[in-house]
């Protein structure tokens, strides 16, 4: 099969792909033979400083593991006063981190943020067609990866739920007036 990104991503012998895979939660249950199989499927690409990996609103095709470099995640949000769009910094990711994994389970899901390479970076792409290929060719490996993916998505959902709950409590505290200290005791 020839996918759209085949010409954008090329295999790179000089990067220790297997080491990055081995240390990633999605692939940590795989043995050496299974890791070599995954290594033969993933795609490696170098990004220049300032180059976007993907932009908010684009259709997501897969996830990225950071081999080298620094990636920053931003969201575009309208300013409530001027209605101009503003970039809001979310987080910085470093080697060993990964992002975009929701695209592995969504059908035509849109990216919820923009990912930008801050340094010269090397990323390992693992795309939805790659996951499907793993599930077709080596179902036992695909199940191991999918179970770990489920675990990651569950943890991220819990973290998001906790943050939303914290924000709701903080907003409620801001809305409630402080108790009045009345000298007459009423």
Mean residue pLDDT across the chain = 87
Q: Which CATH architecture has domain 4-174?
A: Sandwich (2.60)
The structure's pTM equals 0.78
Q: In this predicted model, what pLDDT tens digit does every residue of 68-91 receive, in sequence order?
A: 999 999 999 887 777 788 889 999
Does 143 score more than 80 pLDDT?
Answer: yes
User: How many whole angstroms separate alpha carbon 22 and alpha carbon 19?
Assistant: 5
Beta strands in 38-163 (DSSP E): 43-47, 52-54, 62-68, 71-78, 85-93, 98-99, 114-117, 121-127
- Bin 2: left if φ > 0, else alpha if -120 < ψ < 50, else beta: beta
């Amino acid at each position: 099969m020839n996918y759209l990104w085949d010409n954008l991503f090329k295999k790179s012998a000089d990067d220790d792909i297997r080491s990055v895979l081995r240390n990633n939660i999605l692939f940590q249950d795989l043995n050496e033979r299974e890791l070599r199989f995954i290594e033969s499927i993933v795609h490696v690409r170098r990004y220049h400083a300032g180059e976007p990996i993907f932009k908010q609103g684009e259709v997501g095709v897969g996830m990225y593991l950071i081999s080298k470099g620094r990636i920053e995640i931003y969201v575009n949000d309208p300013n409530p006063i001027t209605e101009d769009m503003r970039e809001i910094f979310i987080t910085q990711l470093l080697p060993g981190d990964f992002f975009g994994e929701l695209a592995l389970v969504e059908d035509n899901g849109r990216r919820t943020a923009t990912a930008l390479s801050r340094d010269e970076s090397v990323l390992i792409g693992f795309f939805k067609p790659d996951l499907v290929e793993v599930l077709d060719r080596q179902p036992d490996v695909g199940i191991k990866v999918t179970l770990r993916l489920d675990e990651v998505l569950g943890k991220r959902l819990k973290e998001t739920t906790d943050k939303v709950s914290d924000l709701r409590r903080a907003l409620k505290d801001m809305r409630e007036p402080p108790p009045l200290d009345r000298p007459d005791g009423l």
